[in-house]
Structure 1
Amino acid sequence: MQMADAGVPADPGKRDGRTTRTERLRHWREAWETSVPGRSVARALEIQITDRMMALAAQAFLALMPLVIVVAAAAPNAVSDGLVDAMRKKVGLGNGTTTRNVQTIASSAAETGVTVLGFLLVLLSATSFSRALQRVYERSWRLSPGGLRSAWRPLAWIVGMVTYFVLIGLTFRVTHGGGPLTVVRMALASAGSIALWWWTPFVLLSGRVRWRALLPTALATAAGTLVLGVVSAEYVPRLLSSNERRYGTIGVAFAIESWLVVLFAVVLAATVLGAVLVDTRGRLGLWARGSTDPGGWRRTPARRRVTAPDATDPDATGPDAADQESADQESADQDGPDPGAADPDPNRGPADRRAGGPHG
């Protein structure tokens, strides 16, 4: 009797319940891993987003902020005042001692002059930040480093950022005031932010990602930074004032560093989200890359193309194909007619063919 009982399960219902829960958990895990949020979290952990945003914040504070001060010092007064106003709006600087110190530093540098050597040193030091940002973009999109051919791109991005700073300064200076000018300033700031974060990954990724595939990244980054700017304008001034009263300028530096950490957390999260969207097999992925091919977001720069362009690829056709066709036609005209080709006029006689003219 005991031997018969040993072959029967103690409680089949419990075993079936455990199996059902295990299968359900497995189903939920697979659904999470294949979803856009789950893949975004996995990609963020893959690029070590926490370490990257801390490193970018530190390099931006040490390399990019001095560049802003140098640009403010070298630019005309209208641009300089606009830059300080933009920093006050975006970073949350108020009218305290720190803001006056920034204005004093810019004014002193403008009076003494910025030497070419000093500007070049600040510019080259700022490229350390752009190179770090380039590595983050490459890892987010799972692309190999650009190599020596792309060594100029971090410097080109810094030059573009200087131009962006100048344009922002002019925008804030010209649209200074309330009423309709506030709407114009917000519209111009939004358009400039989208253009900046659309152009940035294209340059730093060496043109290996199509413009359309980068649009979700640009929209997500611009939206995140604009929302952060609105929140910063409300919260950060109180934090800066409190730190300035307690710790002085060093407290303000710590507050700005914390704000930069949050800023690059938003930038990296938007970058990861945009990179994951283009790989999605669904409507979102189809819209993001504009192709049914999962790898359709890739773009091969023109100088790296070694094979003939595909006729079905609209981006692969261009002046090169037309030039090649023209060269082939010229070569055929110089070599003369093909002796093995059929005569278009079968009524012509041998003498006419030798003469090259029509009979009669």
Structure 2
Amino acid sequence: MSWSARFERLRTRTETRFPVVAELTGRLLSANLLDAATRLAAQAFLASIPLLFAVAAFTPSAVRDQLRESLRGIFGLTGQADLELQQVLGNTSGDLRETSGVIGLALALVSATSFSRAMARVCERAWQLPKASTRIAAWRWLVWLLALVLFVLLQAPVRDGFGAGMWLGAPLLFLLSTGVWLWTQHLLLAGRVAWLPLLPGALLAAAATNTLALSARLYMPAALNRALGEYGSLGLVLTLLSWLILVCAAITFAVTIGAVAAQEPPLNRLLDRGRGTHLKVPDDSAIPDDSARDGA
């Protein structure tokens, strides 16, 4: 028997014994997840710029200092990269506030909700749900964005275990991340999926993002300083965007894998599907392509 025949036989046997494997393989291959992750990363980067300047212009110095410490903790910033961040967040003059203005702040928040919309599309595709109407979802985009900013602000004290150290901070951050991703899916899906089936995706997303955050502290400081030294601001942009693509790909795959696991045996029996949980979309509720969604 050839190797290809043996592999096909093993695959068929595995899919027969574990239906979740067949469903997961099909979903991962058909959902264009890498394309969705790249879009999500691009929107995350475009949203972070106006939000960073909004924080620098309109928040007290204590908030700016807290954000700087959190970003330094996430990326382990040192040297030139840390000085660049300090230059943006250390602007205490009124020039930036006058340039931005209240209208500019409002426009920055509205434009930054494109990241929220991209995240909502990732969750909807993972659960095979149609796009929620703008009337229902619009306020959720803004609330999620503001909550994400708060989550980033809390990174430094939580990671330090509120002074106790990493032995307490690491599990606390994992629990907080799990709660954030659980709430994120429920909010952006407009409550169409119950809480408990969302837990596998939340756990996977928390594990992935915390692992990448730990690796970022080891890799990003030298990479950012080298990129700044060789290519200037363009090198900084490319390095951050590359890291965001990796993070968003991990989140996209984690949410999708969690959704499939919650819908297939054996987890679907453990997660109590009988309490109004909408895990499948009827066949006549086709999911539009991303291009159709963007044009909606």
TM-score, normalising length: structure 1: 0.68
Report Cα offsets for 1:297-353 as digits up to 9, x if no partner. Answer: 428xxxxxxxxxxxxxxxxxxxxxxxxxxxxxxxxxxxxxxxxxxxxxxxxxxxxxx
In 2, the alpha carbon distance for the partners of 1:124 and 1:109 equals 25
Other-structure match for 1:135: 121
Other-structure match for 2:223: 239
In 2, the alpha carbon distance for the partners of 1:265 and 1:121 equals 28
Report Cα offsets for 1:265-319 as digits up to 9, x if no partner. Answer: 110111111111112122x3323x224x6x96428xxxxxxxxxxxxxxxxxxxx
In 1, the alpha carbon distance for the partners of 2:48 and 2:242 equals 15
1:71 to 37, 40, 55: 55
Other-structure match for 1:211: 195
Other-structure match for 2:84: 101
Distance 1:110 1:279, change over 3 A: farther
2:148 to 161, 182, 192: 161
Distance 1:266 1:97, change over 3 A: same
Instruction: Give aligned-pair identity as a percent.
Output: 33
Preserved CA contact (<8 Å) 1:70 1:106: no
In 2, the alpha carbon distance for the partners of 1:149 and 1:33 equals 41
Other-structure match for 2:205: 221
2:10 to 9, 19, 28: 28
More helix by share: 2
- In structure 2, stretches of 5+ residues that fail to align are 280-296
Q: Is 1:298 equivalent to 2:285 in the alignment?
A: no
Superposed counterparts of 1:197-346, under 5 Å? 197-282=181-266, 284-287=267-270, 289-291=271-273, 297-298=277-278
Preserved CA contact (<8 Å) 1:56 1:132: yes
In 2, the alpha carbon distance for the partners of 1:219 and 1:240 equals 29
In 2, the alpha carbon distance for the partners of 1:86 and 1:155 equals 22
Q: Name the aligned partner's letter for residue 91 of structure 2.
A: S
Other-structure match for 2:173: 189
Preserved CA contact (<8 Å) 2:73 2:155: no
Distance 1:246 1:25, change over 3 A: closer
SS of residue in 1 equivalent to 2:131: coil
SS of residue in 2 equivalent to 1:39: helix
Preserved CA contact (<8 Å) 1:198 1:218: yes
- How many residues align structurally? 273
In 2, the alpha carbon distance for the partners of 1:158 and 1:110 equals 26
- In structure 1, stretches of 5+ residues that fail to align are 1-16, 300-360
Other-structure match for 1:85: 69
SS of residue in 1 equivalent to 2:165: helix
Displacement after TM superposition at 1:133 (Å):
1.3
Other-structure match for 1:307: none
Other-structure match for 2:294: none
Please say which of residues 190-199 and 146-155 is displaced more in the overlay: 146-155
Q: Name the aligned partner's letter for residue 175 of structure 2.
A: A
Displacement after TM superposition at 1:192 (Å):
2.2
Distance 1:118 1:170, change over 3 A: farther
Preserved CA contact (<8 Å) 2:161 2:170: no
Displacement after TM superposition at 1:93 (Å):
4.7
In 1, the alpha carbon distance for the partners of 2:76 and 2:256 equals 30
Structure with greater Cα Rg = 1
